[in-house]
Amino acid sequence: MRKMTILLVEEARWASDKELRNSLKNSPQIDIISGGFEKAAEFIGSWDVDCVVIDACRGPNRQVSTESEAREIRKMFKGKLIAISDIPFSRIPLKRACCQYDCSKGRLAELLIHLSQQSPENQAGKKLSAVA
C-alpha cells in the first residue's frame, strides 16, 4: 500500500500538531508535511501530496476565514481538501467553496485514517459525512 501524504496548511503550527502526529504514530501509511499558507504552493509543487488539510481560521483572535486561501490552493491542487476548525460554523465557507471534507481538529486523525484505508477507485464520487 502506498503512503498517503498530507499537507497541513495553517497560519502557525497549532498546539495539537503534536497531538495529531501522536494520534497517527500507529498509522505508518500516513506522512504529514506542515507549513504556513505562504509555503502551500511550494509544498504542493515539490511533494506528491494526496490531501491538503486547511485550518479554517487565522488571525490574532482566529476570526479571519481562510476561504480565499483555500480557493487559491484549489486552483493548483485537484486532490482532497479538508477544512478543519473546532468551531463548525468556521468550516462552512471552506466547505461551500472547495473542500470535500470538514472536521474538528480533534477528529482529523480519524478522518485521515479513514481516507488512507480507501482505495482511490472507492473514493471517487463517495461522500464522507462531516465529523464534528
- What are the sequence ranges of the domains in the chain? 4-123
Phi and psi torsions of 91, nearest 5°: -80, -20
Quick one: DSSP state of residue 131?
B
Structure confidence at residue 16 (pLDDT): 58
> What grid cell was written down for 48?
506528491
Other C-beta atoms lying within 10 Å of the C-beta of residue 130? 17
d(CA 73, CA 52): 9
**pTM (two decimals):** 0.84
> What CATH number was assigned to the domain covering residues 4-123?
3.40.50.2300
Structure confidence at residue 66 (pLDDT): 86
Q: Is residue 44 predicted with pLDDT exceeding 80? A: yes
**More reliable by pLDDT, 128 or 20:** 20
| Range list of H helices, 3-66 | 17-23, 40-46
Asked if 62 contacts 11 with a C-beta cutoff of 8 angstroms, the reply is no
